[in-house]
Amino acid sequence: KHEMAKAEHNNVTLGMVRDSLIRQEDTIVYSLIERARFPLNPPTYDPSYASIPGFSGSLLEFFVKQTEAVQAKAGRYDNPEEHPFFPDNLPPSLVPHYKYPEVLHPAAMSININKLIWDMYFNKLLPSFVSPGDDENYALTAARDLECLQAISRRIHYGKLVAEVKFRDERKDYEPAIRAQDRFTLTNLLTFTNVEEAVKKRVAKKAMTFCQEVKLGDDGDKGKYKVDPAIVSGLYADWVIPLTKEVEIDYLLRRLN
Ligand SMILES: C=C(O[C@@H]1C=C(C(=O)O)C=C[C@H]1O)C(=O)O
């Protein structure tokens, strides 16, 4: 059903987890492409745009909170790989409980850095890759924003599984650093610069491939992309990779609790 089911029997490898991270790159790139179909559409984020009875906040916040409530009832957040942006007051799941294997240390449950992801997305990323303007498609715009947020959040919080596999593989190296709560040593242990470089290169290449305007015949206007590939690889370099490592460290610091 998902990577963590395999980890239960200790047969998940770092390579398998990395394969999932690679597959998630596609989802993230495509979600950005779909959001970039719309301009910024500022009223989506303006609390004074719509007066929704019984709700105070922007249309975007309304859309996310309501969507997360429905998805919670459908069982989405029973999956340890999924993290809500508004975890307080989420309704309980209404579906038969799927027994997810206890792969991660229980302390993993308390790790949710979606506030950081939310702020990065709306304050830094969104203005950098969509065109200014307003086409009044606010509900669709909010739906595309949530797709981007959920894809990015899932990838970053996968750092918990990456950290668990690394811990199991090299317990003797990680234990002393965890007991010392030594962030610096943990960061050195879990960092694979060659892998990070490969991630940034591959993401840029995927953006070049997925984002290009496909023309029949050769009418020569090369180089036009739906989303600037440099912005996509910049997202990984500046946010996705650093925040994934933050999750790895937060998880490892709690691993021996
Ligand atoms: C996710 C991992 O941990 C770190 C984070 C990486 C990333 O976010 O892409 C890549 C390599 C590591 O520095 C990994 O080792 O695969």
Domains and CATH numbers, the chain: 3-44+101-254 (1.10.590.10)
How far apart are the C-alpha atoms of 109 and 220, rounded to whole Å? 52
What is the atom index within ligand 1 of the atom nearest the CA of 158? 1
Written as six digits, the tokens of 103 are 């792969």
Q: What is the pLDDT of residue 245?
A: 98
Helix, strand, coil % over all residues of the chain, rounded to 5: 65, 0, 35
Least confident range of 48-52, 90-94, 161-165, 221-225: 221-225
How far apart are the C-alpha atoms of 69 and 176, rounded to whole Å? 41
Q: What is the pLDDT of residue 193?
A: 98
Instruction: Please choose, from the candidates 228, 238, 223, 227, the residue with its C-alpha nearest in 3D space to the C-alpha of residue 35.
Output: 227
CB 82 near ligand 1, within 6 Å: no
Instruction: Please choose, from the candidates 242, 203, 244, the residue with its C-alpha nearest in 3D space to the C-alpha of residue 30.
Output: 203
Other beta carbons less than 10 A from residue 103's beta carbon: 22
Q: Ligand 1: which residue has its CA nearest to atom 4?
A: 191
**Rounded to 5 degrees, what angle do the CA atoms 9, 12, 16 make?**
155
Torsion, CA 39, CA 40, CA 46, CA 50, rounded to 10: 20
| Residues 132/39, Cβ–Cβ less than 8 Å | yes
CB 186 near ligand 1, within 6 Å: no
Q: Report the 3 state secondary structure along 128-195.
A: HHCCCCCCCCHHHHHHHHHHHHHHHHHHHHCHHHHHHHHHHHCHHHHHHHHHCCCHHHHHHHHCCHHH
Measure 17 CA to ligand 1 centroid, in angstroms.
Answer: 10
Written as six digits, the tokens of 144 are 């595309």
Residues whose CB is less than 8 angstroms from the CB of residue 9 and which lie 6 or more positions away in sequence, other chains included:
none
User: ipTM exceeding 0.85?
Assistant: yes
Measure 140 CA to ligand 1 centroid, in angstroms.
Answer: 33
Mean pLDDT of the chain: 93
Name the percent of the chain lying above pLDDT 70: 94
What is the atom index within ligand 1 of the atom nearest the CA of 191? 13
Q: What is the pLDDT of residue 5?
A: 52
CB 33 near ligand 1, within 6 Å: no
Indicate the pLDDT class of residue 223, thresholds 50, 70 and 90. low
